[in-house]
Amino acid sequence: MEKLKKEVGKKAAEYVESGMIVGLGTGSTAAFFVEELGRRIKEEGLKVIGVTTSHATSAQAKALGIPLKSIDEVSHVDLTVDGADEIDHQLNGIKGGGAALLMEKIVATYSKDYIWIVDEGKLSTHLGSFKVPVEVIPYGSEQLFRQFKEVGYAPTWRMSTSGEKVVTDMQHYIIDLHIDKIEDPATLAHELDCTVGVVEHGLFNNMVKKVIVAGTDGVRIIE
């Protein structure tokens, strides 16, 4: 699995050219992309500016010597490369397994080009086998949790290994929805977008144009 993740991370780095402002995703697959970018900067003299999608990715990029700016310090992002948790045939996806969905969606929104890098196990006919993460403001979040339960979304709090509610980089909680089969991702996204107290959700519908997929028989591109 690590080998597959590394392959797609390296492949995605081939799309980066000198002068670009590059969005750096979060997670174990995106980390291989960031690593390869760091190598190209050091060994090939590639000149880029990175815009990170989490504190964890910022720490990795800094350690690799990748120059960074925040999303508010750049006019645009040329290309963002990120992982994903589940992707359907229309290239709608679920993200946020690493609790970074809010920053990931903001950076992706301002990116001219957006690529996901995944292993084949993330591809699915219908979204929903992966839980839908919902980032919520702590104030009123118990009410929201109850509301999600009432409509049958089987919510769970995202917990840390030490048994605390996970607090995101932007100081919110995560409620994971277990829906099993999402018949209409656009309708669910709209419903969550309109729910008071929800900051962002992990449905990334119609945002990505290219997915680099690693399988046992090699790397392929879905567009």
Kindly tell me which residue out of 16, 99, 182, 189 binds ligand 5RP, with binding defined by CB under 6 A.
99
Under a CB-based contact definition with an 8 Å cutoff, are residues 94 and 84 in contact? yes
Spatial separation of the C-alpha atoms in residues 65 and 180, rounded to whole Å: 42
Contact present, 35 and 81 (Cβ < 8 Å)? no
- Helices and strands, number each (H, E), in the chain: 6, 13
Angle between helix axes 55-63 and 28-44 (nearest 10 degrees) is 30
Determine if 85 is a binding residue for ligand 5RP (CB under 6 A).
yes
Q: Which of 36, 104, 135, 200 is catalytic?
A: 104
The verdict on whether residue 83 carries a ligand-binding annotation is: yes
Name the segment binding ligand 5RP (CB under 6 A); options: 44-52, 95-103, 150-158, 164-172.
95-103
Q: Which is nearer to ligand 5RP, 88 or 147 (CB)?
A: 88
Does position 96 interact with ligand 5RP (CB under 6 A)? The reply is yes
Helix-, strand-, coil-residue percentages of the chain, each rounded to 5? 30, 25, 40
- 122 is known to lie in a ligand binding site: yes
Binding-site member from 37, 87, 101, 136 for ligand 5RP (CB under 6 A): 101
Q: Which residue among 36, 82, 135, 176 contacts ligand 5RP (CB under 6 A)?
A: 82
Question: Judged by CB under 6 A, which stretch of 42-50, 92-100, 134-142, 157-165 contacts ligand 5RP?
Answer: 92-100
Q: Which is nearer to ligand 5RP, 108 or 144 (CB)?
A: 108
Q: What burial letters (b/e) apply to 176-209, b meaning 16+ CB within 10 Å? A: bbebeebeebeebbeebeeeebbbbbbbbbebbe
> In the bound complex, what is the minimum distance in angstroms from residue 29's beta carbon to ligand 5RP?
3
Which positions are catalytic?
Answer: 104
Q: Which residues bind ligand 5RP (CB under 6 A)?
A: 25-30, 82-85, 95-101, 104
